[in-house]
Amino acid sequence: MEDNHKKNKSGISRRAFIRGAGLTTAGTLAIQTGVMAGTSEADKATKELGPNAVNISMNVNGRVYKLNVEPRATLAKALREELQLTGTKVVCDRGSCSACTVWLDNTPVNACMTFAMDVGEKKVTTIEGLAKNGELHPIQEAFIEHDASQCGFCTPGMIMSTASLINQNPNPSIDDVKHATRGNYCRCGTYPHVFQATLAAAKKI
């Protein structure tokens, strides 16, 4: 019996979907979002981008980088592979673990669910950019103090979620902390120390 290898129906990965999107509709996608960096208004209206790599500029941790990325490239991939910022982790690659959490301006997003091209003028902050002038963010200090990481793989995402919370709400309740980290998966089960650390850090700022 001759048979080509096929993906089973449930096995169509998001990556494969994006690959398809990149080949057919990425230009349209980009125009709809209207946040393309380095393209004029006229370009936005007419120019289709992709499927080949295009040049964009992106502000990451306060520095502007020129990048050459394919339309299908996620922000997570651009950060990790193009900029070597490997603190942002990819675990599920479909927005269900928050290990890849970064900030666009000051809003936490899943970098695995964001196209690099869609970042536009927004400022990206990654775990590497959280400490300022060598001073750790109070959340980072508190994570160390309260032993809020075991294997540490979820830690960057946990910190980007909790730091965003206390930046916006300096007086969070335990339920606020649980809400802010509700998408962050930690298999080591470090949640209790993450919660303690976040509440302690909030008290200090």
Partner 1 sequence: METKKIKMPFGIKGERIEEVEREVPLSEPDAWPVNESLKQVGKSVKRLDAVAKVTGSAKYTSDIQLPGMLIGKMLNSDRPSATILSMDTSAAESLAGVYGIHIMKNEEKGEFPIIRYAGQPIAAVAALTEDIAEEAVDLIKVNYQEKPFVVDMELAMKPEAPIVYDAPVEQKASEGGEEIEEGLKVIGNVRGPNVGQPRGEIEKGFEAADVVLEHTYKTQVQTHNSLESHGMVVDWRFDGVTIYASTQGTQGVRDEFAELFDLPKSKVRVIVEFMGGGFGAKHGLGTHGQAAGYLAKKTGRPVKVMASRKEEQTSQGNRPNSIQRLKIGVKKNGDLTAIEQEAYGTAGVGLGAGVGGVAQSLYSCPNFQTRQYDVFTHAGPGAAWRAPGAVQGIFGLEQMMDELAESIDMDPLKLRDKADPSRVRKAARKMGAERFDWSRRKPKASDNGPIKRGIGMAQSSWWRVYNYNATVEVKLLRDGALEVRSGVQDIGTGTKTILAQVVAEEFGLNTEDINVRIGDTLFPDAPGSGGSQVTASITPAARNAAFQVKLKLFEKVADMLEVKASTLTMEDGKIYSTEDTAKSMSFLDAVAKLPVSQIVATESRSAEYDGDYLHWDLGSAQFAELSVDTETGFIKVDKIVAAHSCGRPINPLQVESQINGGIIQGTSYALYEDRILDRNTGHMVNHSLDTYKTTYGVDIPDIDIVLMEGYNAKSSTDAYGIGEPANIATAAAIANAVYNAIGVRIREIPITPDKVLKALNKV
Applying CB under 8 A, the residues found at the interface with partner 1 are 1-8, 10-11, 13, 15-16, 19, 70, 72, 80-81, 84-94, 96-97, 99, 126-128, 130-131, 136, 140, 143-147, 149-156, 159, 178-179, 181-195
**By C-beta, is 15 or 123 nearer to partner 1?**
15
Count of alpha carbons within 13 Å of 23, Cβ hemisphere only?
A: 5
**By C-beta, is 59 or 150 nearer to partner 1?**
150
Chain centroid to Cα 8, Å, comes to 29
CB of 43 to partner 1, least distance (A): 26
Phi first, then psi, for residue 19 (nearest 5°) are -60, -45
**By C-beta, is 13 or 57 nearer to partner 1?**
13
CB of 80 to partner 1, least distance (A): 8
| Distance (Å, whole) CA 100 – CA 164 | 14
β-strand pairing of 123-125 with 54-60: parallel
Preceding peptide of 51 cis, ω within 30°? yes
Buried b (16+ CB within 10 A) or exposed e, 107-133: ebbbbbbbbbbbbbebbbbbbbbbeee
**By C-beta, is 67 or 120 nearer to partner 1?**
67
CB of 150 to partner 1, least distance (A): 4
| Distance (Å, whole) CA 100 – CA 33 | 22
**By C-beta, is 29 or 53 nearer to partner 1?**
53
| Distance (Å, whole) CA 186 – CA 7 | 29
CB of 54 to partner 1, least distance (A): 16
CB of 8 to partner 1, least distance (A): 5
